[in-house]
Structure 1
Amino acid sequence: MKSSIRAIMLFLTVPIVCSFLLPSPSPSPSPNLSLQLQAASSAAKTAKVKPLDPTAPAPLLSQNPPMKIALLVEPTPFNYVSGYSNRYNEMLRYIKQAGDDVSILTTDDRPSPPTSAFGYPIATTLGFRFPLYNHVCVTFDLPELKGLRLMEKFRPDIIHISSPGFLLFAALIYARVMRVPLIMSYHTHLPHYAKEYLGYIPRIEDFAWFLVKFAHTRADLTLTTSPQIKKEMEGRGIKRIDVWRKGIDTVRFDPKFKSVSTRKMMTDDNPSDFTLVYVGRLGAEKRVMDIKPILEKLGPKTRLCIVGDGPQASELRREFKGTNTVFTGQITGDSLSSAFASADAFVMPSDSETLGFVVLESMASGVPVVACNAGGIPSIIEHGKTSYLAEPGDTDEFVKYLEILRDDKEKYEDMKRECRKEAEKFSWEAATSVLRNVQYPIAMQNFRSRSFGGYGGVRTAFLGRVWRIKFAWLVKKVKRLVTLGFFRDWWYSGEEEKPKELGQ
């Protein structure tokens, strides 16, 4: 009985195995596998786009032909004042000049959100206020799935998503389902914020890094806003990173906006006092409270003006009550330009800046800065020449550099000129040109070089092609097995030609 079972199993197994191992006897043989692999190998050797050196001149803005870009961004940069907002608005301004087509998806729960920017349509999906920072609206793009409908209709060449956020998780799915290259730009240093707001949770910083790595290892290219953040992310094992060049509007921020009336407002009508300014979001992570002991040590002839709004605004007003401090709230346009240019020095106590646009804006206004030697700020400031860097939380060091600016008039005037000169090196047109002509093509290139529609590692596309060819060959063999084709091949193996009625 056992021998009969073995014979039957052998009878069934041998033809099945042979049907997979032996080539098909088709009169029109399939393309040779080695030739296909050779072609794939030669295609992989084509010229590649390489990252541009940070000091290299930018290419012409319209060097590459127009492309279709899906921009998914949260929080909205259209009702939200910050350096982050400036970057996206300036990007769109020059992308428009290059002739690219952009479709924008964001979330905005304010009344009558904008429906277009620079001639590009803005789609708004349902969102919610983030509990730990309720000044911004974020979204998972649920239940509307507007992003997916946008992709199906618009068919973009590339998806650009801001990070960190919740919308990026939807973008990851959309990019892979639609098989579109994905570029992420990293604007807020999530691990630092997690430590600042949720430090009471054990290992919260490590968890934040896990989330950052989970998302960004799935991008075809990550853009950071400073070399320092790029280096830190690379140290955490995140690959395919480049720096989105900084830019500054040197027309909007200029020493010519210096105003006597603005200075009087900023100093409670004491314009002759040494005047400090802080411009930015008022949140705990910005460490604005660190300025209070600095102000007290500089003495009664020093004034402070705080420009901006945020979740810590009420607390800061209480803490600074009784000091020489003026709060203006959030201001924009010429009033903001004038607030920068009318101060004597800018104080930046934050150690969480991925770049620090307000530092560049102050320098463009001809106002020296004393800032934290942390995050992306050291990439902006040449210590002792264009401004000063102090260690985070070191009150005495901040005071020392501010006293130099106050007391050494010759040094102060030299530094004002150097500030403006340094800021004039950067333009938004150059930053956008590198983005669309170098960094977008690199992301597309990385996508093509990864197997399984972008899921595999870099330089695995060749293996992916091999896998697809072998899989197609395997499917063909399974089809022959299911249709008992191997019996037909065996039956007619001794004949030169098969009967016409069998379809040959």
Structure 2
Amino acid sequence: MATQEGAMNARRDEFPAALKGKRILLATESLGPVNGVSRTTGMLIEYLRSNGVDLAVVAPRYEVKDQPQTKPTTTPSHSRSGSEVRLHGYPLPYNPDLTVVYPFRFDRVCSRTFQPDIVYLASPASVGYQFLWQIRQLQKPPVVLLNYQTDLAAYSSILLPGAMGRFGTWLVNRVQGFLFNHPSVETIFYPCSDVRSYLEEAGAPSNRLVQLGRGVDTVTFNPTHRDEAYRRKLAPNGEIILAYTCRLAPEKGFEFLADAVIRLEKEGLAYKLLIVGGNRNPAVEADVRKLFEPVRDRVIFTGFLGGENLARAYAAADLFLHCSITETFGLVVLESMASGVPVIARNQGGPSDIVKHGKTGYLVAPDDLDEFVRLTLEVCEIRTSART
């Protein structure tokens, strides 16, 4: 049995033979910002290149404040593996990490890289849709793989008011159904069961849908990073530490979280809320911070964290409160669990598949604030008892 399991692990870890010798053009909507899609796409790029894949990357230009834009690079070799093309566009005001790219030509991208055998589109939107539209015009299109990681329809309904939101959702639904049905699209990866249902309703072919989860770096994210000195700094009076990690943006459920922690204050819970993340638009970040004014003495905003600092922040918490309902996967939920921190999440999107209610965490109906607060108090009482 052990020998069989070892053989299975070896096959799993072996680089896929079908990708060897292929030219892959990878296009992504973000590469550089700190978000789940960008992080996982970056790891995929590193994995492919480390296995000698002839890879070119296409992404919007991304400028870090006070740092120069990284110039596109092309490896001076026949294969041109390692080339990178950055596209001009317009950063979204509510989230400057995301860019709507200006129209571009697929053939010009290929002239700067190569004619690909495979096109991989990470979380297709303004970049991916233009790729799909132009590829469907080709007589001999390359094989296309989609990784659907961002729920654009849900974003439209939250960010656009009233009728505009409903129209935006309808339009995104129709466009996706049309583009995803082309014969060149061989596989559509989806991260959770909610997204599969949405894609089927939009008209994506069911026989091309393949679930693709994510893993966590358990060396970086694990309970050994719990730093008692850091905990005392965050909660000098021994308060319970609640945490939430994400970009500070309206679609991340901060109104719900603010309502919850204000209720917790009224219930007499002695807590500190650690919010890890930021937004490069100061006005959007300020709007999020204002929601917590009634309990501002209990809330700590760390800004963006990464690496060891992020791992330490996760491990410092007693309980992770996940309040977004737009997550197609919810990598932060896995990272928190890997750090030994229990999770309470709203039961929608990716966390619904990750969290096993009552076993690995708790799921609460998306709008049930009363139950969310009740469970938070219950888990905090258990965690407090365990500490004493």
- Report the TM-score when normalising by structure 2: 0.83
CA gap of 1:142–1:409, structure 2 versus 1, over 3 A, is: closer
Counterpart AA for 1:372: R
Residue pair 2:145, 2:188 contacting (<8 A) in 1 also: yes
Alignment match, 1:214: 178
Paired residue for 1:395, among 369, 375, 382?
Answer: 369
Cα distance, 1:346 vs structure 2: 0.6
Choose which of 85, 89, 95 in structure 1 pairs with 2:42. Answer: 89
Structure 2 residue aligned with 1:168: 128
Instruction: Report what 1:238 is aligned to.
Output: 204
The residue identity in structure 1 corresponding to 2:214 is K
Does structure 1 retain, via aligned residues, the 8 Å contact 2:318–2:383?
Answer: no
Partner of 2:152: 190
Aligned residues: 352
Verify the 8 A CA contact 1:141 1:147 in the aligned structure 2. Answer: no
Cα deviation, 1:479-504, whole Å, max 9, x if unaligned, reads xxxxxxxxxxxxxxxxxxxxxxxxxx
**Distance between the aligned counterparts of 1:146 and 1:340, measured in 2?**
44
- Asked if structure 2 preserves the Cα contact closer than 8 Å seen for 1:125 and 1:146, the reply is no
Question: What is the letter of the counterpart of residue 126 of structure 1?
Answer: H
Aligned to 1:305: 274
Query: Retained in 2: the 8 A contact 1:279–1:307?
Result: yes
Equivalent runs, 1:148-297 vs 2, <5 Å: 148-150=110-112, 153-176=113-136, 177=138, 179-202=141-164, 203-204=166-167, 205-218=169-182, 219-239=185-205, 240-267=208-235, 269-270=236-237, 272-297=238-263
Displacement of 1:316: 1.9
Q: Residues 479-494 of structure 1: matches in 2 within 5 Å?
A: none
Amino acid corresponding to residue 220 of structure 2 in structure 1: R
**d(CA) in 1 for partners of 2:14, 2:71:** 27
Residues 125 and 144 in structure 1, CA contact (< 8 A), matched pair in contact too: no
Structure 1 residues 42-99: Cα deviation after superposition (integer angstroms, max 9, x where no partner): xxxxxxxxxxxxxx977343241512210011122xx210111221122123223433
Residues 25 and 56, structure 2, Cα contact 8 Å, conserved in 1:
yes
> Is the Cα contact below 8 Å between 1:276 and 1:302 reproduced in 2?
yes
Is the 2:28–2:124 Cα contact (8 Å) retained in structure 1? no
Which structure ranks higher in relative contact order (CA pairs < 8 Å, sequence separation ≥ 6)? 1
Give structure 1 stretches of 5+ with no counterpart: 1-55, 414-504
Classify 1:210/1:127 alpha carbon distance in 2 versus 1 (closer, same or farther; 3 Å): same
Change in 2 beyond 3 A, CA 1:293/1:231:
same
1:69 counterpart letter in structure 2: I
CA contact under 8 A between 2:220 and 2:311: conserved in structure 1? yes
Deviations 1:3-32 (A, max 9, x none): xxxxxxxxxxxxxxxxxxxxxxxxxxxxxx
SS of the residue 1:378 aligns to: helix
| 2:286 alignment partner AA | S
Residue identity (%): 27
Give the partner amino acid of 1:288: F
- What letter matches 1:246 in structure 2? R
RMSD of the alignment, in Å? 2.6
Instruction: State the SS of the aligned residue for 1:142.
Output: coil
Instruction: Give 1 or 2: higher strand fraction.
Output: 2
1:139 is the counterpart of 2:96 = no
Change (3 A) 1:217 1:262: farther
Counterpart residue number, 2:78: none
Distance (whole Å) between structure 1 residues aligned to residue 360 and residue 71 of structure 2: 38
Whole-Å separation in 2 of the counterparts to 1:409 and 1:128: 46
Are 1:72 and 2:63 counterparts? no
In the aligned structure 1, how far is the partner of 2:338 from the partner of 2:210? 25
CA separation of 1:114 and 1:409: change in aligned 2, threshold 3 A? same
My pick for the range that moved more, 87-96 or 257-266, is 257-266
Task: Assess if the C-alpha contact under 8 Å between 1:159 and 1:175 holds in 2.
Answer: no
What secondary structure, in the 3-state scheme, does the structure 2 residue paired with 1:160 have? Answer: strand
**Cα distance in 1, alignment partners of residues 369 and 16 from structure 2:** 49
- Tell me the SS of whatever aligns to 2:210: strand
CA positional deviation for 1:259: 1.3
Rg: which structure is higher? 1
For 1:398-437, what aligned pairs fall within 5 Å after superposition? Answer: 398-409=372-383
